[in-house]
Amino acid sequence: MIRVEHDWWQTLFDEVYLVTDAPFVCNPVLTKQEVDVIETVVPLHPASRILDVCGGQGRHALELARRGYQHLTVLDYSHFLLDRGRWEATAAGLHVAFCHGDARAMALPSASADVVLLMANSFGYFVDVADDHRVVVEVARVLASGGRLLLDMIDYDLARRHFCAESWHEATDDVVVCWKRELAHDVVRVRELVLSKTTGLLRDRAYAERLYSPETISALLTQVGFRDIVIQHGALVYDPAAGTDYGLATNRMLVTAAKG
């Protein structure tokens, strides 16, 4: 059994992460496609107060800023990614606020956002399922009445149907990433080995992701007071071309909801 540390998410998102997940997080073309989808499924206006929770270096927020949205905040736990985002925003002359924080207890005023984004598998990291509930409660708190939530999640049915226990890909000419996965009780545990052809082992870490079925996530959102819940399959599908392994992110499930 793959052993996952309780707080793995506190230290995983560093410079190595930007290499191993480069097909997503360092891919401007893909980011633009994702923001196209965001604009399609969530009502946005130039003055909308948009909060990107667990937004990393703010790749979606920065692209939204390029498109004229004026009030953008990124909240994340990784100081490294936040500093990277601040640097990119300054270099591009874009106005995006970057805040350090825990999604379970955000140091943000109530009703301070019109839209909350949780993109790219950012929901479901916690070992204790009660912590996922706390995140949704916090999202509801910071959303204004009628505000909208967008969850970008692993497609539950397709992930289970096409579960792959082992895979690998070359992240760069030098770096190879290998994954071993286990699925039990709707939680995927992953052991990730990152190897440099020139210097050897760069990382041997484990992390986890909880899968939510449409019924389960709908029940959770309803319990917290969200309404008008819509679930879309296939709005984001990443083609594993050129040998790139997108793993569990290949097929997405988009969930939108309004605060009651």
pLDDT in tens, 27-44: 888 899 999 999 999 999
Residue 242 reports pLDDT greater than 60: no
pLDDT tier at 251, thresholds 50, 70, 90: confident
pLDDT tier at 239, thresholds 50, 70, 90: low
- Cα separation, 6 vs 128, whole angstroms: 9
Domains identified in the chain and CATH numbers: 8-155+212-259 (3.40.50.150)
Question: What is the pLDDT of the chain when averaged over all its residues?
Answer: 92
Length of the chain as a residue count: 260
pLDDT at position 189 is: 94
Residues 164-187 have a mean pLDDT of 91
**What global pTM score does this model have?**
0.92
